Amino acid sequence: MKKVGFFRSIHLKFVIIYVLLILIAMQIIGVYFVRTLEDTLMTNFQNSLKQRVNMLVFDLQEEMVKERGKEDPTKEEAVRLILKDYKNKSTDFSEVQAIDGGSLRIIGTSDQSRQGVVGQRTTALKVKRSIVTNRDEGSIQVDKQTGNRVWVQSTPIRSKGEVIGAVYLVAKVENIFSQMKDINKILFTGTGIALVFTALLGILLAKTITRPIADMKKHALVMTRGNFTRKVKVYDNDEIGQLAMTFNDLTRKLQEATATTEGEKRKLSSVISNMTDGVIATDRKGRVILINEPATKMLDVSRETVLSTPIDAVLGLEEEYSFDDLLLEQESVILDLSNKKKHLILRANFSVIQKESGFVNGLIAVLHDITEQEKIEMERREFVANVSHELRTPLTTMRSYLEALADGAWKDDEIAPQFLQTTRTETERMIRLVNDLLQLSKMDREDYRLSKEWIDFSIYFNKIIDRFELTKNQNVTFIREIPETPMFVEIDQDKITQVLDNIISNAMKYSPEGGRITYRIKEEDTQIVVSISDEGVGIPSENVNKIFDRFYRVDKARTRRLGGTGLGLAIAKEMVQAHQGDIWAESVEGEGTTVYFSLPYDRMAEDDWS
């Protein structure tokens, strides 16, 4: 099991969650406290400012009512003095102006450095709005010169219900925001200190809660390694303590179940491993969960590649059977897994694994290699059929002729000799067939031996050809392409003579009148290749590779007529292979056939003989 890091542990998560909850709670309290305090301070500031402005409005009202509409320097001086006096009494005021309601002229300002604006029309929008709407207009703005926040307010001056002017003031409120900033710092500092103590307390609390869980985790890791002897310590009788007791009880039951399962598993594994047959087991969905070594060798697969693969795909039956079909299959299924490299036939028997309730848990397939059995059985059937066929024809002929002779044909001086000659011919044919079968039987025995000797194959081959050229009774031309240089090979002369006799006899049988037979020897590095070519009817391409099989004949009627048994080339193949050589044929239908065979050749041995 992968080890859990500290930053992923439940211990750290518990502490983080605990700290985050406290932090969120304190942030909510802090935001609510700061907002409420700020609103309270601003409200108190505005109420205090309103009381002082109302007193100022009352004093200015008396001065502005006197001789209203007339320009009186004395009145402006009195207004200036009133404004100056109020500014001196309140340090919060930055500037106070008095504006005439009719002309909107500034009739006084408390700022000594701005006395030049007296007598000018005001441009303040709040003044115009308060005179028109007859109500206070105020808001917080930023002083462009200092960059500090200020409270700007315009309050109308009334006389007998009529607005006769306005008081425009600029008050300092930056002190309030400075106080709020200090309060926020204090609050943040307190929050940080509280979080430190909360984190420490959370670590202690988390350790108390997570310690039993950590013990269970360690115990679970030990259980994954197969150790069920350890028990979890029970710290308390709370929910976690009850979980620990339940965990210990589960451990005991798992130990008992595992021991039983391991025993059964060892028995089953021993049985399956020692089986010579292949065994494949699947789950209830038909996917392979077990395959033994013989099965992997039979199917030429690896255990890793077939696990979790559907069994019908592993056996190559996906086109013919589904998994449900295999569950219902009562008889054996023959698997032909032959390819160009090897011949392989398997018999698969299927058995369903199911509970007493009938629920299907899976399928077991047992594979038997019946390749050799099938091959032997096929060869036996073919051999019996071929021998029976080959013997039946001459025996039938002989019986017919003998019955005719018995019926009185022996008295006929012309027919009797012909019947006797035919009977003799068929008898000789059966003798040749039996001799050929005995020859093959000898070569099939494991104790078969060759009598080898070193000979110059060029001279030897020419002698064989001379013998056929002297005894031929048809118009066939022999062409020899045989090197004159010596080529020494180690062979059994009697056996190779029989090979050459079979091949040359076939070439002469199938050569037309006036045809040619070409004899060649080709020298290679490790072998010599002997070839004999005729100009006969040839062999169809699909039959060329079959002519060396036992009892195989391309033209059966002509072969029987000429006395052939269909075993000559089969015997030649066995003899050449006994010399560690090879034999093959090439043919073009209508143009002729060339039979090749190779023999081992050693140049060093040739140098010794030379």
Residue 558 has pLDDT above 70, yes or no: no
- The CA distance from 455 to 172, in Å, is 133
Residue 553: predicted pLDDT: 59
- Residue 223 belongs to a domain: no
Together in a domain, 270 and 281? no
Q: Say what the pLDDT of residue 441 is.
A: 64
Predicted local confidence at residue 150, as pLDDT: 84
The stretch 13-34 carries a mean pLDDT of 81
Read off the pLDDT of each residue in 560-587 and give the average, rounded to a whole number: 76
Residue 610 has pLDDT above 60, yes or no: no
Tally of structural domains, the chain: 5
Nearest 10 degrees: CA dihedral of 65, 71, 72, 77? 90
Mark whether 15 and 114 lie in a shared domain.
yes
Higher pLDDT, residue 10 or 482: 482
Least confident of 7-21, 74-88, 246-260, 559-573: 559-573
Residue carrying the six token digits 């190559």: 316
What backbone torsions phi and psi does residue 368 show, to the nearest 5 degrees? -115, 130
Residue 498, token pair as written in the block: 């029989």
Lowest mean pLDDT among 55-64, 68-77, 136-145: 68-77
Residue 330 belongs to a domain: yes
Q: Are strands 278-282 and 360-369 parallel, antiparallel or unpaired?
A: antiparallel
The rounded Cα 493 to chain-centroid distance in angstroms is 62
Mind listing the pLDDT tens digit for each residue in 377-414?
Answer: 776 676 666 666 666 767 777 787 777 777 777 777 77
Q: Where does a domain end: 332, 367, 402?
A: 367
- Contacts from 93-96 at CB under 8 Å and sequence distance 24+? 93/169, 93/170, 93/171, 93/172, 94/143, 94/150, 94/170, 94/171, 94/172, 95/169, 95/170, 96/56, 96/167, 96/168, 96/169, 96/170
Judge whether 119 and 106 are in contact, CB under 8 Å.
yes
Whether 464 and 576 map to the same domain: the answer is: yes
Question: Of 444, 470, 503, at which residue does a domain stop?
Answer: 444
Whole-angstrom distance, CA of residue 467 vs CA of residue 223:
89
Q: Comparing 274-283, 545-554, 555-564, which segment has the lowest mean pLDDT? A: 555-564
Residue with tokens 């080339």: 569
Residue 356 binned pLDDT confidence (cut-offs 50, 70, 90): confident
Per mean pLDDT, which of 24-28, 435-439, 454-458 is the most reliable? 454-458
Residues 6+ apart with CB under 8 A from 201: none
Tell me phi and psi for residue 586, to 5 degrees. Answer: -130, 140
Selection from 57-66, 226-235, 450-459 with the highest mean pLDDT: 450-459
Bridge partners, 109 (sequence order): 97
Is residue 94 located within the same domain as residue 237? Answer: no
End-to-end CA distance of the chain: 77
Query: Does 328 map to a domain?
Result: yes
In a domain, 4, yes or no: no
In a domain, 437, yes or no: yes
Say yes or no: 15 and 127 in one domain: yes
Residues 160 and 86 occupy one common structural domain: yes
Flag whether pLDDT at 189 surpasses 80.
Answer: yes
Give strand pairing partners of 352: 363
**pLDDT confidence tier of residue 563, bands split at 50, 70 and 90:** very low
Q: Can you tell me whether residue 307 is helix, strand or coil?
A: coil
- Same domain, yes or no, for 510 and 575? yes
Mean pLDDT of 526-538: 89
> How far apart are alpha carbons 489 and 60 in whole angstroms?
147
**pLDDT tens digits, 121-132:** 888 888 888 888
Confidence of residue 444 (pLDDT cuts 50, 70, 90): low
Residue 565 pLDDT level (bands cut at 50, 70, 90):
low
For residue 101, what pLDDT band results from cuts at 50, 70 and 90?
A: confident
**Residues 129 and 25 grouped into a single domain:** yes
Q: Tell me which H or E stretch contains 305.
A: helix 303-306
Average pLDDT rounded to a whole number, residues 327-343: 79
Question: Which pTM was predicted?
Answer: 0.40
Q: Are residues 148 and 262 located together in one domain of the fold?
A: no
Residue 604 pLDDT grade (very low, low, confident, very high; cuts 50, 70, 90): low
Per-residue pLDDT for 559 more than 50?
A: no
CA 551, CA 391: separation in Å to the nearest integer? Answer: 12
For 209-223, 513-527, 528-542, which range has the lowest pLDDT when averaged over its residues?
A: 209-223
Q: What is the CATH number of the domain that holds 426?
A: 1.10.287.130
Mean per-residue pLDDT over the chain, rounded = 78
* Number of C-beta neighbours around residue 511 at 10 A: 23
Res 178 pLDDT > 90: no
- What are the pLDDT digits (tens) for 136-148? 888 888 877 777 8
Whether 536 and 492 share a structural domain: yes
In which band, very low, low, confident or very high, does the pLDDT at 532 lie, cut at 50, 70 and 90? very high
For the domain that residue 524 is a member of, what is the CATH number? 3.30.565.10
Domain containing 350 — which CATH number?
3.30.450.20
Q: Does any domain span residue 494?
A: yes
Give yes or no for residue 3 having a pLDDT over 70: no
207 part of a folded domain = no
Q: How confident is the model at residue 530 (pLDDT cuts 50, 70, 90)?
A: very high
* In the predicted structure, residue 2 carries a pLDDT above the cut 50: no
End residue of a domain, out of 367, 399, 417: 367
pLDDT at residue 360, rounded to an integer: 81
Task: Compute the average pLDDT of residues 106-112.
Answer: 80
Average pLDDT over residues 257-268: 78
Predicted confidence at residue 152, as pLDDT, reads: 86
Q: Is residue 150 part of a domain?
A: yes
Whether residue 143 sits in one domain with residue 35? yes
Quote the percentage of the chain above a pLDDT of 90: 4
Under DSSP, the state recorded for 265 is H
Q: What are phi and psi of 274, to 5 degrees?
A: -90, 0
Its domain, for residue 154, covers 11-179
Nearest to 139 by CA among 130, 147, 33: 130
Asked whether 533 and 511 are in contact (CB, 8 A), the reply is no
Judgement on whether residues 489 and 599 belong to the same structural domain of the protein: yes
Give the residue-averaged pLDDT of 28-50: 83
